[in-house]
Structure formats: C-alpha cells, structure tokens
Structure 1
Amino acid sequence: MGLNGWIHNANMAVARSFVGRRFRLDGSGHPRERKGTYFFTEIRAGLATFFAMAYIISVNATIVSQSGGTCVCPPDSPDLCDSDPDYMLCVAGIQRDLVTATAAISALTTFCMGLFANMPIALAPGMGLNAYFAYTVVGYHGSGLVPYQVAVTAVFVEGFVFVGLTILGLRQWLARAIPASIKLATGVGIGLYLTLIGLTYSAGIGAVTGAQSTPLELAGCEAQYMDENGLCPASEKMRNPTMWIGIFCGGFFTVLLMMFRVKGAIIFGILLVSIISWPRGTPVTYFPYTELGDSMFDFFKKVVAFHPIQNILVVQEWNISGYGGQFGLAFITFLYVDILDCTGTLYSMARFCGAIDEKTQDFEGSAVAYLVDAFGISIGALFGTPPVTAYIESGAGISEGGATGLTAITTGLCFFISIFFAPLFASIPPYATGCVLIIVGSLMAKAAKDINWRYIGDAIPAFLTIAIMPFTYSIAYGLIAGIISYIVLNTIVWLVEKASGGRIRPADKEYKEPWTYKIEGGILPPWLVRASKGKKDFWRPYGDVEHNTSPVAGRTLEGKESVGAETAMAQAGASERGGFSAADMRGSTTSGSEEGEKLKL
C-alpha cells in the first residue's frame, strides 16, 4: 500500500467515525454529507487559511498598541510621549499583550465557527476597524475621542447588539438597506485609510509625515533627524534604511511572490524584513542599544514563551456619562462596518464553497455563524481587541478544498499554537508590516470598478465616502458623508419628479442602481419562519427544504484572484466581494456543484 492508499483509507476511517458524521464528510452516511470532502483535505485547507492570515497577529498588535492602551500619557506632553522612555516601555508591554490577545481570540472564534457552524471560515480582529479603533476612537497615544477603556466597552456592547440583530433577522436587512455603491465605496475608502497608515512612521514604513503648509509631505528620514514638528530636513528625506528595507523586501518581494501565486506570500515578506531587522548593531535593527531596545530584545530572546495578558484584560469602563456622543459615534460605526463586513464575507465564502441554497438563499449554519461572530466580538473586547469579523482569506483554504468546520478548527488550533510564540510576533517591526497595509489597500481598491459611476446620484456619494475616510482619518465620517449625501440628492430628485409628474428627470436616470429595503422572503430569519410554522426541527437550516446531499465544495476561483492575491484581503476588504452586491446576495453566481473536481488528498 502506497502513501495515497494509506491516505485514502485514513480518510474513509475518519469519515465513518463520529467525527466524519459530525462534520458531514463524504462517506460518513449523513443524509446531508458534503460530497468531495475528506479529512486530510480539510487539514491542508486549514493550514492554508492560517498561513494566509497569520500576519494579522503582528499587524493588529502593532496598530492597536499605537493607541497606548491603558498607558497614561500626560495631556501636556509636547510629543504625545514619544520621547518618554517609561511610557514607551508601557506601550511595548501593551503590544505583547495584544499579540497574545489577537492569537487567543482568533483561535477561540475560528475554532467555534468550525465546531458549531461547520463552516470553513476563520475569524480575527478586523483590519480597518482596528485602525479606526486605534487612530480615531482612542487616538494615537490616547489623543482621540475616548479612552481605551471606554472604546473596548463600545465593542463589548456592540457584540451583544449583534446577537439581538441576528436572532431577529435584522442584520441582513440592515446590510441590504445601504445602497450598493456606498457599500463598495466603504471597502475602497478603508483601503486608502490603511494605505495612509502603512505610509506613516507609527505603523508603517515612514514615507510620509505631517506638514505645516500642507496636510502631508514626503519624509523617509531617520528619527534623530526630525525637528520638533516631526518634519524631515530636505537633505535627509528618503534616506532611512528601514524604509527601503520595507519597500523592497516587504513590498516588491511580496508582490512578486503574489504575482507568481506563491501561497503565504505576505508571511514571507514580513519574515524577510523581520529577520533582517533582528540582529543588533546594524542600521536597520529593531533593537537599538537603548532601555526600550534592551527590553524588547530580552523578550525576543525567549522565542517560545507564554505571555499572559497583563494590562488590557477586562478593563471596560462603564461610566460613559462624559463620552455620550463620542461613545455613540464609535458604537454605530463599529456596528455598521461589522454588519457589512461579516455579512458580506460569510455569504461570499459560503457561495465559494458551494454552501448557498439556491431556493432559500441561506447557507447551512448561517444563524450559528452570525452568533459565533457576535459573541466573539464581545469576548474579544474583554481581551482588549477591536471587533472580530470573518476573513476573506478563508478563500485560500476553500480553494484548497476546505468545505467543513474541520478546516476552521485546524486554523483555530494553529492560532492557539501561535500564542506560545508571542516573543517572535511581538518583535516584528512596523516597517515589516507597512507595505502589507499598502498591498491590502490596493486589493481593496479594486471594488471601485464595480461602483455605479454612470449615474452621478450614485457616484458622488460613493466618491465622498472614499475620499473622506483617509482625509479625515475616520471611517465614521466617510460613512456619514456618503449616506447623508445619498439621501439628500436622491430625495430632492424624487420630490422634483413627483412635483413635475415625471416630466423633469435627471440625465442618465436610467442608469441609477436599483435600491430596496425589502428582502426576498421577508425580514424574519429562516429559523423563526420555520418555528412559526410549528416545525419541530426549526433550528435546522434545511428543515423546510428537501435535499439529499450538500453541494460539492468549491475548488479554485474562476475569473477571480489567485490564492496569492486572496491572502492579502482583510476582512474590511469583504466589501469588494459579491457578498456586498445585490446580485450575490440574491445568488447570481453558479453553485459549487458546478465547479471543477476536487482532489481527494
């Protein structure tokens, strides 16, 4: 018996076991077994998903730690405590806490997604939302709208509001009620927002900085050459070696790997820059001979060690009387972006793996999947992280053949193992991840091509959404600008048409994208409809549909990005996917059963 024979026998043995029936593997005998699914295929797919999104551990920790966390910076500090060694040591501790917190909440929620929802989808703190959390809500070193403790309270409350919206079926309705162009523009705007962050010093390569006569100017000098305003002298601009290491090794190298469809391209780019930056005594070292550098290097040398969450665990502040308006703004923004992001990603990935039922337009375990995400948001807030959401990188595992919860469980176990490598993840410099943010931003910007530019009533609100986000450093203000402008413009047009009896109409009105707040089948979730009909198995996703087998899981993307490109898509980037378009929500693409044949390995 060769290796292939042994693998086949092992696959069949697992399929006939309790595990196979629980996850509905091919050959399990379950009435809704998922054809073409095999144990070793699921394991391989889970590993692919992890390597596609492992970058989030270091990137999220780097971004969120820029808020300062629970560290206190005096309000009269001239440079927001950048030159305060004690404060920066505290921030380094926050970053280590966030490495553990990010890995832990990603492991927990992804494992639960696989175990309870039986979906091959991974979750983690959301890109885009983490930047909004760090740079707008809390602000750089605590200079934003509310303290860190109040911000994580808003995230905690949002999670439980999500639970209610999911149970009542309002989550999908809220996602559907937003005009399609604004949904797409949200992803593009967040992409530009991430790109700007990737260009700055705090969490990027340091190519731009604030200016006096203009909002931004070219930078790229070493920190010791900056003046009191944070500006670079002309003779030192673009001469910082760490910036060039980030550009060539973290940028060009990563993109070239993606062009040749190398799986884990982003991880390889981050690792290359990090390895170059770890030796001490070099111009690009991340561990200078300073008090802060010594502390960071001592932690790095541990390599394998469990770092407990010491400073940000359960730090919610429930007295929000002094932050009512700011708290509400942050809460609503988190809620809106999460609704679009997770709903779109879940539907996109469910369709990709062939789990969407063409009759109900629902996917198996949808309510449970939404609840896992909702509870994950609140639990993540207790860990001190921004909102958790589903990741589009799950497509990397699905394209490897993953179609059941075993894929997500494998990914979750990988995240759990990474908790014990906190010293390595905490020692990844910002110039190693800066180009990752730029790459993610460029991929998210592709959604701009699907915006309805033919009708100005759709185009202008979408453009304002895109432009306001990076220029104000706020996702919330971009959403407000886009939604309000859409309402004002289209309400006036409607009034003019009504008053003129339809004789006065704007040019190109025939190109206006359709909009409706209605959902086919009604607003109530399928489980509630089944319960109202007296069905005893109302909790089963297909309790009212006669099927014998599940669709065959998806294999490879046809006409879409390769796995290499998918690896750079953050969850905020889900807004550029079909899950956010009306067509995909209605099920306009082919089902997984019509896709190519899957390997049995």
Structure 2
Amino acid sequence: MTQQSTEPRTTAEDAGDGSRQPAGRSWLDRYFHISDRGSTLARETRGGITTFMAMCYILLLNPVILGSVQDVQKHGLDHSALVTATALGAAVCTLLMGFIGKVPLALAAGLNVSAALTTQVVPHMTWPQAMGMCVMYGVVICLLVVTGLREMVMNAIPLALKHAITMGIGMFVALLGLVKAGFVGKGAGGPVTLGSDLSGHLVGWPVLFFCITLLLIFMLQARKVPGAILIGIVVGSALAIGATKLGGLTAKDWGGAPPTLDGNAVSMPDFGLFGHVEFGGWGSIGALSVTMIVFTLVLAGFFDAMATIIGVGTEAKLADDKGRMPGLSKALFVDGAGGAIGGLTGSSGQTVFIESASGVGEGARTGLSSVITGLLFAACLFFTPVTQLVPAQVAAAALVVIGSMMMSVAGHVDWSDRATSIPVFLTVALMPFTYQITTGVGAGVIAYTAIKAAQGKWREIGAFMWVLTGIFLVYFSLHPIEQWLGVR
C-alpha cells in the first residue's frame, strides 16, 4: 500500500490530460504545465526568442517569393503589404498554438505552399482566388482533424518510422542551415559543392560568421552552458554588425540587406491584403484542376506538418514510448486552421516550422514559448526593420546544431532488422537529398508496407498504413495521373 499524503488540498487544477495538479503555483505555470514538463519560465522565454530569431527570415523571404510573380490578370502583390501579412499570419497562428495547443511549435507562411502558389496556382487564376485555395485546403485539414483521421494517421505510423522522421528532419534541417548560410550550394559536377559560387571553396564574410557562430554554440553545448544557441546567435549577430560597420561591408558582400539598423526602426503595418479572398470563378481551368491543386496543397500541409510535429515533439520529450503526444489533436487543428488563416491574411498557408526545434534545443517544452514567439512576430508589424539585425547566415547555425541533436534517436532503431532499417534509411536519406519532407515520409511508408507484406506479416501493417501507402503511391504518380486525366 502506498502512503497517502496528509497535507490538505484546498483546491486543484485539471492539467488537461486527466491528471490533477495541486494549487499553489502561478496561473502561468498551471495553464502551460511548465513544472509538469520539467521547464522553467526562463527556459520558455529563451526558447521562444530563439525560435523567433531562427525563423524571422520568413518576413524577408516570403514577400520575395509571393511578390516575384503576377497572376493571370497581370496583378502583383505589394511588398510592404506582404511583409505585414506574413507577420500577421505568423503571429496569430503561433499565439493560437501556444494558448490552445500548448506545445512549443511556431507557425508561419509555409515556403512549400508559397512556392506551389507561385508555380502551380497563380499562373491560372487571380491572387484572391489563390488565397481562396489556401482557405479551402485549411478547411479540409481541419475536417480531417475533427473526424479524428489525422491523429489516427499519426498514431498508426510505427515507432521506428517516427524515429526515422525525427532523424530525417534533423538531416533536412542541417542541410537547410548549410544552404542558407552559403556553406554549400548547387554544384557544377555534382548535386552540391562547398560554397555557394561553384568554386568548391568557402567564400565571403557571411559564411565566416556562420562558422564562428556554429563552433561557438557547439563549444558552449559541450560545456553544458544554458542558452548556448541563443548566446551563439546574439554573439554572431553582434560580430556581424560590428564587421559591417567597421569593415564597410555592403549589401553585395551579404548577398542582400546587411545586418544594420539604418533610419527609422518603426514601420506602420499595411493591411492591404487582409480579407482579399475569392471563391469560384475557376471556369478557365476547370473543377478537376482545382481539385488536384487542393489535393497537392493538402498533402504538402498534412505530411510536412505531421513530420515536423513528430520530430519536434520527440526532441521536446513530449511523446510517449509509442511516439504519441498529449493534446495532439489541438495542435493539429491549429496547424490546419493555419492554412485558412494564411489565406485570409494574404500571406499563403501557415504551417508548423521546423525551426521550432531551435527553441526546444534551448529547453522550451510548453506553449508559453510559442506565445513569446507569437508576440515577437506581432511586434514586427511595427518593428519590421529590427529583424534585419539577425543575419540569415547567423540564424542558420542554429539549424545545423538542432539537426545534430535530432540524430540522437538513431540509437533507438534496430539496424540489424532489415524490415526496419530499410524504411528508416529511405526516410532519413530522401528528406535532405530531395529537399522535401513529404518525399521522405512517403518513401518510408511505402517501403515499410512492401517489406512487411513480402514477409507475410500483413496484420502488422495496419489498415491506416495501407491507406497511407495508397495515398503516397498516388502522390508519387501525380504527374502521369494528371497527364492521363488531361489536367496538364
């Protein structure tokens, strides 16, 4: 018999997961379960700031992507309005994830969605209609969450594949950081090469600051210094600003805006794109083309976010021994709603960002860190010029560090079992090699099902894995299917 505590309890709070918490803690601690998850207010704040610094580049990059093309009526999007829309979408969705999902995940305009809009959607319709597509795919994903299908899919994936997704995202994040820093680039005689100018050598000051920041973070981590990633980013940014001021570095040296704050730090927001959404009027491309576009956006939003949530949740130690997370359905719903919110704000569909892992690396475990990140994005509605103080190359160092940390789950994989190791290998390898998270997930799912079927272990596969396999077979065959149906 266990001894019962004789200490009186006057009140108790529901933790949201069925447990009861003793009173006496602050409302902030009780609401976000900070102590329950082994975190502190300082860690959550530090994690939220770090995540923002790692992903604030989206305020510069997304307007460039969306503003680079004109729609079918030769209309473009205003740059200042795009910056406001990007900041607004990220702020609203990240705050919702913090307060409702209560997990350390930040959202912003998905670059895969933005790229799909500019290459596959806008050439055939107007920008308001394209944003309507974002609203439609967001609603579809929310319906999948409400019906429980999305969480069932995530829980149906075998634990080994979940570990593979974590490692694959780690490799993808590391490569993403190396590319953003200009440490590697497209090669002349091969897929990639050292440096971004095809020379096979590291060139330029920005790469130097990336290397300094990366080594500094690694050294601080080795000495178990709290806040290693944030300290590294701050020091790296300070060195970059100092070199720009004293060394006379220009935009040409940085390949873009240098890390300086010239002129007024305050800028008023431009809400000119808010609410510019249109449904219908797709007669020129047909209902079948619209269906295929929505299907493509749903697949990208569904599985990229699923993989990211699994990866970051595992790294944050929020997943149980079967890879399942508490409060998963709420997080998935907010992520799905991000598609619709992004369309309404005019910034394209919002999705969970893998850069959230940088905040987790700083100790973030709760939604409070997401609230901090969301508030910083909200502040950028008025202080957008301040975001230029953190060079993208310096922030990219955090991605490489997080990539190395996410590889630690490799020890949980039974590499001697070929039925496990082959799907894991394909998942891990194809994410960075193809530069697409969804491709790695799909390859791993198909390989797992095929190998288990070849072994005669049909029951181990599970119904949802068979469904996923069918979906990914359609995904990989989408181009010939569209040609066969006459869509292309």
Separation of aligned partners in 2, 1:362 and 1:179: 14
Inter-CA distance 347–487: structure 2 relative to 1 (3 Å threshold)? closer
Matched, 1:38 2:34: no
Contact 1:97 1:307 (C-alpha < 8 Å) held by counterparts: yes
1:79-133 CA-to-partner distances (Å, cap 9, x unmatched) read: xxxxxxxx9xx997588447623652355314532xxx6x4x344227xx94544
Look up the match of 1:80.
Answer: none
Query: Percent of counterpart pairs with the same letter?
Result: 21
Look up the match of 1:423.
Answer: 385
1:510-563 CA-to-partner distances (Å, cap 9, x unmatched) read: xxx9654589xxxxxxxxxxxxxxxxxxxxxxxxxxxxxxxxxxxxxxxxxxxx
Separation of aligned partners in 2, 1:427 and 1:302: 13
Contact 2:166 2:311 (C-alpha < 8 Å) held by counterparts: no
Look up the match of 1:467.
Answer: 429
**1:241-256 alignment, distance < 5 Å:** 241-248=205-212, 250-256=213-219
Using the TM superposition, give the Cα deviation of residue 239 of structure 1 relative to its aligned residue in structure 2, in angstroms: 3.7
Contact 2:104 2:368 (C-alpha < 8 Å) held by counterparts: no
Contact 1:192 1:441 (C-alpha < 8 Å) held by counterparts: yes
1:109 to 88, 91, 96: 96
Look up the match of 2:415.
Answer: 453
Separation of aligned partners in 2, 1:338 and 1:240: 34
SS at match of 2:150: helix
**1:11-160 alignment, distance < 5 Å:** 32-35=20-23, 37-39=25-27, 44=42, 46-61=44-59, 64=62, 68-72=65-69, 96-97=83-84, 100-101=87-88, 103-110=90-97, 112-113=99-100, 119=102, 121-125=103-107, 130=110, 132-133=112-113, 137=116, 146-147=121-122, 155-160=134-139
Give 1:272's aligned amino acid.
V
Separation of aligned partners in 1, 2:435 and 2:368: 39
Separation of aligned partners in 2, 1:194 and 1:91: 30
Look up the match of 1:584.
Answer: none
Using the TM superposition, give the Cα deviation of residue 487 of structure 1 relative to its aligned residue in structure 2, in angstroms: 2.3
2:228 to 265, 272, 275: 265
Inter-CA distance 310–169: structure 2 relative to 1 (3 Å threshold)? same
Using the TM superposition, give the Cα deviation of residue 381 of structure 1 relative to its aligned residue in structure 2, in angstroms: 4.3
Using the TM superposition, give the Cα deviation of residue 171 of structure 1 relative to its aligned residue in structure 2, in angstroms: 2.4
1:142-163 CA-to-partner distances (Å, cap 9, x unmatched) read: 5x55559688666543432332
Contact 1:243 1:431 (C-alpha < 8 Å) held by counterparts: yes
Using the TM superposition, give the Cα deviation of residue 174 of structure 1 relative to its aligned residue in structure 2, in angstroms: 0.7
For structure 1, which segment, 279-288 or 335-344, has the greater mean C-alpha deviation from structure 2 after superposition?
Answer: 279-288
Inter-CA distance 208–343: structure 2 relative to 1 (3 Å threshold)? closer
SS at match of 1:213: coil
Choose between structure 1 and 2: higher helix proportion: 2
Using the TM superposition, give the Cα deviation of residue 335 of structure 1 relative to its aligned residue in structure 2, in angstroms: 0.7
Contact 1:166 1:367 (C-alpha < 8 Å) held by counterparts: yes
Structure number with greater Rg is: 1
Separation of aligned partners in 1, 2:296 and 2:422: 23
Give 2:96's aligned amino acid.
T
1:210 to 182, 186, 199: 186
Contact 1:342 1:389 (C-alpha < 8 Å) held by counterparts: yes
SS at match of 1:301: coil
2:165 to 181, 186, 191: 186
Separation of aligned partners in 1, 2:155 and 2:254: 53
Contact 2:151 2:329 (C-alpha < 8 Å) held by counterparts: no
Using the TM superposition, give the Cα deviation of residue 468 of structure 1 relative to its aligned residue in structure 2, in angstroms: 1.9
Give 2:178's aligned amino acid.
L
SS at match of 1:209: strand
Separation of aligned partners in 1, 2:211 and 2:253: 25
Separation of aligned partners in 2, 1:166 and 1:59: 30
TM-score by length of 2: 0.69
Separation of aligned partners in 2, 1:421 and 1:483: 44
TM-score by length of 1: 0.57
Separation of aligned partners in 1, 2:211 and 2:255: 28
Using the TM superposition, give the Cα deviation of residue 456 of structure 1 relative to its aligned residue in structure 2, in angstroms: 0.8
Look up the match of 2:37.
Answer: none
Using the TM superposition, give the Cα deviation of residue 282 of structure 1 relative to its aligned residue in structure 2, in angstroms: 5.6
Inter-CA distance 188–107: structure 2 relative to 1 (3 Å threshold)? closer
Separation of aligned partners in 2, 1:351 and 1:212: 43
Separation of aligned partners in 2, 1:317 and 1:198: 38
Using the TM superposition, give the Cα deviation of residue 379 of structure 1 relative to its aligned residue in structure 2, in angstroms: 1.4
Separation of aligned partners in 2, 1:32 and 1:387: 34
Look up the match of 1:219.
Answer: 195
Inter-CA distance 63–247: structure 2 relative to 1 (3 Å threshold)? farther
Tell me the matched-pair count: 423
1:476 to 421, 434, 438: 438
Separation of aligned partners in 2, 1:211 and 1:346: 34
**1:274-313 alignment, distance < 5 Å:** 274-278=237-241, 280=244, 285=249, 287=251, 300-308=262-270
**Unmatched segments (≥5 aa) in structure 2:** 1-9, 35-40, 466-488
1:359-386 CA-to-partner distances (Å, cap 9, x unmatched) read: xx995x6655544443344313433255
Contact 2:98 2:371 (C-alpha < 8 Å) held by counterparts: yes
For structure 1, which segment, 425-434 or 382-391, has the greater mean C-alpha deviation from structure 2 after superposition?
Answer: 382-391
Separation of aligned partners in 2, 1:429 and 1:207: 14
Inter-CA distance 417–39: structure 2 relative to 1 (3 Å threshold)? farther
Contact 2:195 2:202 (C-alpha < 8 Å) held by counterparts: yes
Using the TM superposition, give the Cα deviation of residue 172 of structure 1 relative to its aligned residue in structure 2, in angstroms: 2.2
Inter-CA distance 183–480: structure 2 relative to 1 (3 Å threshold)? same
Contact 2:268 2:382 (C-alpha < 8 Å) held by counterparts: yes
Inter-CA distance 334–307: structure 2 relative to 1 (3 Å threshold)? same
Inter-CA distance 193–291: structure 2 relative to 1 (3 Å threshold)? closer
1:226-270 CA-to-partner distances (Å, cap 9, x unmatched) read: 5xxxx33x6xx324222112111x211122233344444333333
Contact 1:154 1:331 (C-alpha < 8 Å) held by counterparts: no
Give 1:38's aligned amino acid.
S
Give 1:333's aligned amino acid.
A
Using the TM superposition, give the Cα deviation of residue 439 of structure 1 relative to its aligned residue in structure 2, in angstroms: 1.6
Separation of aligned partners in 2, 1:368 and 1:290: 41
Inter-CA distance 45–465: structure 2 relative to 1 (3 Å threshold)? closer
Look up the match of 2:481.
Answer: none
Inter-CA distance 195–151: structure 2 relative to 1 (3 Å threshold)? farther
Contact 1:137 1:151 (C-alpha < 8 Å) held by counterparts: no
